[in-house]
Every structure is written in C-alpha cells, then in structure tokens.
C-alpha cells in the first residue's frame, strides 16, 4: 500500500529487518562496504531501510541523509543513526524516491541499495537522484536485476507474478542497469555478478554494484 510519501509493508518490514541483519555476515556486508568505499561529502541514501549501510560509510563522509517511506524501517534506521551519532552525522527523513524532498544539486552522492526493485517508477527515481546530485557527483548502486540469460529471465518473469506480494513490492525481473544506462548518468563502473545466500533467493541472485556519474556540463 502507498500514499504520496509513505509505503506501508508492516509484515515485510519486520521480516526484512531480521533477515537483512543475518545476511550481513553471509556476504551482503562485504557488498555494502564495496558500494560505499571511498565515498565522500554529503550523501543521500534513498530507501535506507533499517540503516544497515550506515555502518559502512567511511570517515570521508560528512553527512548522510537517509530517505525512508516505511514507518517501521524508518524508526529502525533512526535507532542506528543514534547508535552511530558520535561517528557520523546521519539524518533520516520521510519521503519516496520518485519525489525527493530536496533542492536540485544538493548532494555529492546518491546511494541506492536493493531499492529500485521496489519503487513504483524506477526511471523517475533515477531522474530524481540525478536532479538532487551535484554536477560531477555520483550515483552508487547495488541492486538485484533481470538476468542476461533468457532462460533465467523467463523464470524471473514467471516468479514475479507472485514475488512482489511476499517481498514488500519487490520485483525480481527489473533491468535496473538498463534504466541507469538510459538515464543522464554516465556509468563509470558496473560489476555484474550472482549472489544468493539462500536457495529461496535464487530469483534475485543476478546483481549489479557500481558507480555512475552526473556529468559536469558547466
Ligand atoms: C529491500 S529493502 C532495502 C533496504 C536498504 N536499502 C538495504 O540495503 O538494506 C527496500 C527498501 O526500499 C524502500 N522503498 C520501497 N518503496 C520505496 C519508494 N517508493 N521510495 C523510497 N524507498 C522505497 C523500502 O521501504 C525499503 O526500505
């Protein structure tokens, strides 16, 4: 269910929060670290969930503004922000990816991790991140995506008939790298790999992790 700047998935939110914590030591923590390695300045993290990325920002980051539309997950991420308050300046605000509550050219970097599968209009979300990032700034992305293998992607299409109902609106068959390539961002690096820490998660095993740049045209 969704209103203008909220998303409500109370059961999924509790389930995800517990599962994601366990997944940290099964490999996802390493991916988060790679995603955020050498990031710096003022960061906007869209769909910050239960705040697990907050543990991985390096000292070069000045401030993180997390945007989270789901009430339970927002409260979880605020708890983590409080826990880390002596190390990192973190603010968590209510909002959705398709209508970010910030002025143009505000951030040095936008971060999206495991989010573009769930937003209702991922192309609009990418254009919103482009809008709020400064010229020369970055989009750092870590997402599960549509497989390049026709056989596997057909399986993803079949599974996606029910997947969003159990996954808090998550779609397992989105060509998110294609959406980023088609946007105004320029891909700097994109690692494509398979990772699933449980057999049940096989439909979301194809992943991408990388950086795209907003060209500085001034
Ligand atoms: C699978 S969780 C990932 C959470 C977190 N980014 C992480 O890496 O663990 C998906 C997140 O996307 C958020 N989300 C769903 N729809 C959204 C939207 N339209 N705008 C922003 N965030 C959204 C959910 O509330 C949830 O926090």
CATH class given for the domain over 2-213: alpha beta
48 burial level (CB within 10 Å; 0-12, 13-18, 19+): buried
* CB distance 78 to 55 below 8 Å: no
Of residues 205, 195, 197, the one with CA closest to residue 19: 197
Q: Which atom of ligand 1 is nearest to the CA of 70?
A: 25
Q: What is the CA radius of gyration of the chain?
A: 16
Residue-wise pLDDT for 1-23, tens only, equals 455 888 889 999 998 999 898 89
Q: Which atom of ligand 1 is nearest to the CA of 45?
A: 6
By most ligand atoms within 8 Å of CB, the mutation choice from 101, 115, 117 for ligand 1 is 115
Whose C-alpha lies nearest to ligand 1, atom 25? Answer: 70
Residue-wise pLDDT for 165-205, tens only, equals 999 999 999 999 999 999 999 999 999 999 998 889 999 99
Whole-structure pTM value: 0.96
Residue-wise pLDDT for 74-85, tens only, equals 999 999 999 999
CA 107 to ligand 1 centroid distance, Å: 19
Residue-wise pLDDT for 91-110, tens only, equals 999 999 999 999 999 999 99
pLDDT recorded at residue 1: 47
Whose C-alpha lies nearest to ligand 1, atom 16? Answer: 119
Residue-wise pLDDT for 50-81, tens only, equals 999 999 999 999 999 999 999 999 999 999 99
CA 49 to ligand 1 centroid distance, Å: 5
By most ligand atoms within 8 Å of CB, the mutation choice from 12, 17, 47, 90 for ligand 1 is 47
Residues with CB under 6 A from ligand 1: 7, 16, 20, 46-49, 52-53, 68-70, 73, 96-98, 113-115, 118-119
Q: Which atom of ligand 1 is nearest to the CA of 9?
A: 25
Residue-wise pLDDT for 32-44, tens only, equals 999 999 999 999 9
pLDDT recorded at residue 4: 80
Residue-wise pLDDT for 123-168, tens only, equals 999 999 999 999 999 999 999 999 999 999 999 999 999 999 999 9
pLDDT recorded at residue 21: 87
Whose C-alpha lies nearest to ligand 1, atom 23? Answer: 47
CA distance between the termini of the chain: 41
pLDDT recorded at residue 3: 52
By most ligand atoms within 8 Å of CB, the mutation choice from 13, 14, 18, 49 for ligand 1 is 49
* CB distance 44 to 140 below 8 Å: no
């Amino acid at each position: 269910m969704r209103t203008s700047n909220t998303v409500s998935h109370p059961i999924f939110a509790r389930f995800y929060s517990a599962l994601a914590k366990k997944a940290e030591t099964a490999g996802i923590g390493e991916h988060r670290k790679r995603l955020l390695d050498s990031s710096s300045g003022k960061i906007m993290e869209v769909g910050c969930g239960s705040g697990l990325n907050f543990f991985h920002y390096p000292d070069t980051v000045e401030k993180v503004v997390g945007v989270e539309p789901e009430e339970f997950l927002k409260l979880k991420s605020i708890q983590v922000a409080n826990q880390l308050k002596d190390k990192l300046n973190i603010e968590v605000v209510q909002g959705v990816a398709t209508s970010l509550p910030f002025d143009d050219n505000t951030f040095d970097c936008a971060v999206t991790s495991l989010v573009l599968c769930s937003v209702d209009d991922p192309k609009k979300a990418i254009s919103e991140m482009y809008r709020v990032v400064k010229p020369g700034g970055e989009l750092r992305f870590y997402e599960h995506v549509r497989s390049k293998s026709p056989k596997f992607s057909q399986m993803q299409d079949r599974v996606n008939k029910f997947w969003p109902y159990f996954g808090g609106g998550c779609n397992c068959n989105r060509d998110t790298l294609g959406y980023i390539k088609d946007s105004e961002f320029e891909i700097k690096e994109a690692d494509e790999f398979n990772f699933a820490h449980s057999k049940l998660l096989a439909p979301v095993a194809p992943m991408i992790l990388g950086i795209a740049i907003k060209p500085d045209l001034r």
